Amino acid sequence: MADHQGTWWIWKVFWILLIITAVEVVLGIIKPEFMLTQALGTSILNYTFIILTLVKAAYIVQIFMHVKYEKKAMRYALYLPSLILIPYLTFILLTEGSYLFS
């Protein structure tokens, strides 16, 4: 990447990933009382975990895998199938799962 001087941008992402993971682990161990409130099927704590995970995933894909710097056509070719199919599959299976036991 021509616009990248040195390696500081790699280490920046490293620290972001490390801090997010540390926050997740600390939350997972102490499980703060106020985050255990149920909302839309699961606890706020679980939503926090999922959002933090998506942030981590975005950094890995965008920076480490260089997708941010690819051509627009390439970005769409990679993002559209995954961002449509994966949430779709997740939605279908989790909805079905909660009916299976009854």
Partner 1 sequence: MASTAEMTQEENHWGGGSRPLGARYGKLMMWFFLLSDALTFSGFLTAYGLMRFKYESTWPIAENVFTHFPGLEGDQPLLYVALMTFILIMSSVTMVLAVNAGEKMNRKAVTNWMLLTIIGGFIFVGSQAWEWYHFISGDTGAVETDRQEILHIYNSEGERLSFSQVIHGMENGHASNHGEEFTKGEVLAALKSNKEFYLQEPGKAGKAFTHGESVAMLEAGDVVQGANMIRNEYGRKQFANFFFFITGFHGFHVFSGVVINFVIFYNILLGTYEKRGHYRMVEKVGLYWHFVDLVWVFVFTFFYLV
Q: Which stretches of the chain bind partner 1, using CB under 8 A?
A: 1, 4, 7, 10-11, 13-14, 17-18, 21-22, 24-25, 28-29, 42, 46, 49-50, 52-53, 56-57, 60-61, 63-65, 70-71, 73-74, 77-78, 81-82, 85-86, 89-90, 93-94, 96-98, 100-101
- For partner 1, which is the closer residue by CB, 29 or 40? 29
User: CA 63, CA 57: separation in Å to the nearest integer?
Assistant: 10
Any bridge partners for residue 38, and if so which? 43
Nearest CB to partner 1, comparing residues 39 and 97: 97
Q: DSSP of 47-84, one letter per residue?
A: HHHHHHHHHHHHHIIIIIT-GGGS-HHHHHHHHHHHHH
Task: Single out the residue of 92, 10, 14 nearest to residue 1, CA to CA.
Answer: 10
Min dist CB 23 to partner 1, Å, is 11
